[in-house]
Amino acid sequence: MSSDLLLRTESVTKSFGGTPVLSGISLELHTGEILGLVGENGAGKSTFVKCLLGLHKPDSGSITFLGRDLLRTGPDGIAGIPQEFNLVNDLTVAENIFLGREPRRFGLLLNRELMRSESRRLLRKLDVEMDPDRMIDSLSVAEKQMVEIAKALSVNCRLLIMDEPTTVLNQNESAILFRIMKELKEAGTSIIFISHRLEEIRTICDRVAVLRDGVLVSCDPAASLDAMEIARRMVGRELKQMFPPTVPPSGEALLTVENLSSGKEVRNVSFELKPGITGLAGLAGAGRTELAETICALRRRSSGTVKLAGETLHLRKPSDAPAHGIVYLSEDRQGSGILTEFPLDKNTTLSSLRRYCHAGFIDRRAERACAESYVEKFRIKTASVETELKYLSGGNQQKVALAKCLDNHPRVFLFDEPTRGVDIGARSDIYHFISELAASGVACLLISSDLEEVIGMCSRVMVMRAGELAGTLENEHVTEEEIMYLATGVK
């Protein structure tokens, strides 16, 4: 690691509407260093990063980058790769890489040849074989990420900021990303790496900066920390056991699915859900989300039946499932879970509004009281129940999404990636909530790509592969190996 100073922030402070979000962050970053940035949602990570990218202006403090005052000169040489990619779906890979800076012939015509060859060169530098003429929407998430990195490299970036890049990747893809990060580091590019997965932070990063409530708690070499210690610093208290005791499914089957199919995504799936927690694992694209959506009539069912407590249900439209006590927590929180422009209270009652109405008129007091009870129950951090959700952190938004589903008083609860993009503290809260709910007699289905989570929470795990149920594992058979065997079909 070279000791050249690349970036120095001094007492960077920022508040929104009187609420301090960053209080005096002083940090140094050297050339060719990978700095891990961790903290619970709402700790100020994104705000800090946005200050570096010039998207927010700090209230006070200074940021020096390559010896220049960043606040005056602008963030040239710093590139950010956001969680939600900034790629135009209808353009090709090459067009996206050079978007806004297209090379031209005679100052007028696009030089496509140059765009293509440059893109190919950049991608090859990343060891990625990808046709620069492919459309973005034909790419996998991992491939899109590579395009983002190539785009950053094309502007000769010295500092790359990656916001939870691995959340959307599987283990293989993550390994490739880490290799590329190491190569970039060798080439002298510095990286700020944000992640909730503490193990990977520890292995890939040189130093780890921990933020808590807008304060830089520590910034120490990664080698001197273990994951538990990082977590402790993030939360600021001793963590209770991450996973509550498992609640094995028992008793009469509540939900019975028979020969359910939906196009090519879900094929002839049959299973039973009993009160308790059942896991549903599988690789991305195995049809887990599609299965849940088909059950809830969010997706057209081509055949099969769904029974609740032995009674066949005729679920035709999305409003039918909650009416029978079957709720689905979507994996896509922003896209289909919550209304970010709506206040918290109106989100919690979104699907159960009927209960707060007299002759069509909303009882605002009852509605607010309901929201307040959930804020307390789930320890949701918010200024008030009338705060719009866009001002809440991911973990708190997720708790609101849970409250929205729960307010239907479900008998069957389908959780789809309930802790994706959620910090450790909130994650533990959510696990305990699922466990309590299961113990109270609700049949819970936990769909998750996080094997640690599936194994920690479930004593019965179904595994899907290519739209079909590949098998079901119970008790001591619920291991990473056996799940992967079923998920990949290799044995």
Partner 1 sequence: MWRRLTALLKSTGGPWAALVVLLLICCISNEHFRSVQNLINITRQVSYSGLIALGMTFVIAGGGIDLSVGSLLAFSGVISILGMNAVPGSETLAVAVAAVIAVALGAACGAANGALVALGKVPPFIATLGTLVIFRSLALYFGNSGLVSSENNVYREFGGAVIGGIPLPVWILLILTVLFSVILKQTRLGRHICAVGSNERVARYAAIRTGLVKFYTYLIAGTTAGISALLFGGRLNSVSSTSAGQSYELDAIAAVIIGGSSMNGGKASIWGTLAGILILGNVSNVLDMWGISVTLQGTVKGLVIIIAVMMQRKTLK
User: What residues line the site for partner 1 (CB under 8 A)?
Assistant: 298, 317-319, 321-323, 328, 330, 335-342, 346, 350-351, 353-354, 357, 360-362, 364, 404, 408
Q: Can you tell me the distance from the alpha carbon of 405 to that of 329, in angstroms, rounded to the nearest whole number?
A: 7
CB of 328 to partner 1, least distance (A): 7
CB of 279 to partner 1, least distance (A): 22
Residue nearer to partner 1 on the CB measure, 110 or 357: 357
| Tokens, residue 370 | 């309901």
Residue nearer to partner 1 on the CB measure, 166 or 349: 349
The closest alpha carbon to 121, from 105, 134, 107, 132, belongs to: 132
CB of 249 to partner 1, least distance (A): 26
CA 437 to chain centre: 23
Query: Which letter does DSSP use for residue 300 in this model?
Result: -
Q: Indicate the helix (H) or strand (E) that contains 345.
A: helix 344-348
Residue nearer to partner 1 on the CB measure, 32 or 337: 337
Q: Half-sphere exposure of residue 342, counting CA atoms within 13 Å on the CB side?
A: 15
CB of 340 to partner 1, least distance (A): 8
**In the sheet where 5-16 sits, what is the strand order?**
19-30, 5-16, 60-65, 68-69
CB of 351 to partner 1, least distance (A): 4
Residue nearer to partner 1 on the CB measure, 222 or 329: 329
CB of 319 to partner 1, least distance (A): 4
Q: What number of helices (H) and strands (E) belong to the chain?
A: 16, 24
Residue nearer to partner 1 on the CB measure, 239 or 362: 362
The closest alpha carbon to 230, from 204, 193, 197, 192, belongs to: 197
CA angle, corner 418, sides to 446 and 261, nearest 5?
50
Write the single-letter amino acid at 175.
Answer: A
Residue nearer to partner 1 on the CB measure, 223 or 357: 357
CB of 384 to partner 1, least distance (A): 17
Residue nearer to partner 1 on the CB measure, 121 or 317: 317
Q: Are 328 and 405 in contact (CB under 8 A)?
A: yes
What Cα–Cα distance (Å) separates residue 199 from each residue in 1, 20, 262, 478?
Answer: 21, 30, 38, 22
